[in-house]
Amino acid sequence: MLKRHLKLPERRPTRTITFWIESASMLEPATALAAATARRYPRVDVVFVQSASIDRAHGFPAYDVPPKVGVAPLFTRLRTHTVIFCGVDATRLRAISDAAARRGSRQVLLVGPGTVSEAEQMDVSFDVGTADAEQIAEALERYVGGSRRHRLERLGRQPMGVRILRAGRKGPLRWLLSWKFPEYERLEELRQALGAPDTILCLGNGPSSRHPGVEAMHYDRLFRVNHSWKARGGPFLAPDLVFTGARDSVMALRPPCGFVFGKIHSEEKVLSRLLASWRRLRYGTVERLGLHRSGLDGRAAPTNGALMLATAVALRPRRLIVAGIDMFSDPAGAYPGDTVTRNAYAVGHDASFEREFILEALNRHDGELIVFGRALRADLQAQGRAVQGED
């Protein structure tokens, strides 16, 4: 009923950079910046929230400015990661900014002639009279890449489920949590649970994951990432470990050994949402195991695929087989048979940092290394690393 009354849109499929425009004079610079931003972040949707009187021929999805009570729900529906304010009246800006802050969204103020030039909660402001769209889009990298959950943590705001989970771990119910969510607390514990594998196959979701040569490989343990591969079918449907930060993956899969989360906040996000469910799972967390590395001052994080490789190396197998880690550089696209998903990293990840992280991890492996996928193998060989495999 409330959704219909407020005319809220359907939930967006991906996170968005939301331009909030209430002045017609700011439409042109906002549209130019939106186009530059869309080119720079192809895996993030750019949307407009604008007054009904402002022209909508810009080509981006556009939504009406909601009443005050609908601001927070609209940010939630749009999955706003970063909001860019353009020509919002100072008396209204604070209320909208408060709603964005409660969500943990990054906030940017775009100013021009006759528009508000100061706001307390903004991460940064840009004057369209002194910088062009490309310059501003480049400068935004520092702000757009950050984690919303990390931002909420710094502000001292955690979801209720996370607070309950943390309290339960310290209180008399910790035994119940240990039963429901048994944890691999040490790397050696995980290694022994896997049977100290001699050969590990790490299978990402890139096109090279379907290379016919992979099926001929013998392996002791199989590691995979998330669960999109399940719908594609084929072999390798019974992984021993799944590296993820998504509740949907946990609910969709039943690996015999369990799941590995990258960061503590990903672990808490998933487990807190499962507290009231029937689901039990065994898990480990890369950050708690001492294998996590932050980068670019918190602006980028390794993907689950990269963390899978770092974990596999730390488990000390004699032979490591890698496929499907194509770093969004395979001409065949992002995923096997997928012609829709943009072949680029999602917001929060950085191509150069990811490459450095993966190469550093694989160069720590002192055993046999087999890599399927041209880009990764070429990068390793360029560093003088002996590596087998096929394109």
Each residue's pLDDT tens digit, 17-34: 999 999 999 999 999 999
Give the mean pLDDT of 138-162: 67
Query: How many CB atoms within 10 Å of residue 227?
Result: 18
Residue 27: what pLDDT?
Answer: 94
Average pLDDT of the chain?
A: 87
Cβ-based neighbour number of residue 28 at 10 Å? 13
Residues 6+ apart with CB under 8 A from 238: 222, 255, 256
The reported pLDDT for the residue numbered 210 is 92
**Selection from 186, 351, 138 nearest residue 194 by Cα:** 186
Lowest mean pLDDT among 116-130, 198-212, 306-320: 116-130
- Do residues 207 and 330 touch, judged by C-beta distance below 8 A? yes
Tell me the mean pLDDT in the region 85-108: 87
| Close Cβ partners of 58 (under 8 Å, ≥ 6 residues apart) | 27, 31, 34, 48
pLDDT of 177-207, one tens digit each? 889 999 999 999 999 999 999 999 999 999 9
Query: Which two three-digit tokens encode residue 381?
Result: 């060989």
* Residue 296 confidence class, pLDDT cut points 50, 70, 90: very low
Highest mean pLDDT among 64-68, 101-105, 142-146: 64-68
Angle between helices 304-314 and 351-363 (to 10 degrees): 10
- From the list 149, 127, 148, 123, the residue with the least C-alpha distance to 136 is 127
pLDDT of residue 6: 58
**For the residues 159-168, what does the mean pLDDT come to?**
78
What is the DSSP code (8-state) at residue 63?
E
Does 47 have pLDDT greater than 80?
yes
Tell me the pTM.
0.81
Compute the CA torsion angle 185, 188, 191, 197 (nearest 10 deg): 170
As given in the structure block, the two tokens for residue 22 are 């209430």
Convert the pLDDT of each residue in 239-282 to its tens digit: 999 999 988 999 999 877 899 999 888 898 899 988 888 888 99
pLDDT > 50? residue 1: no
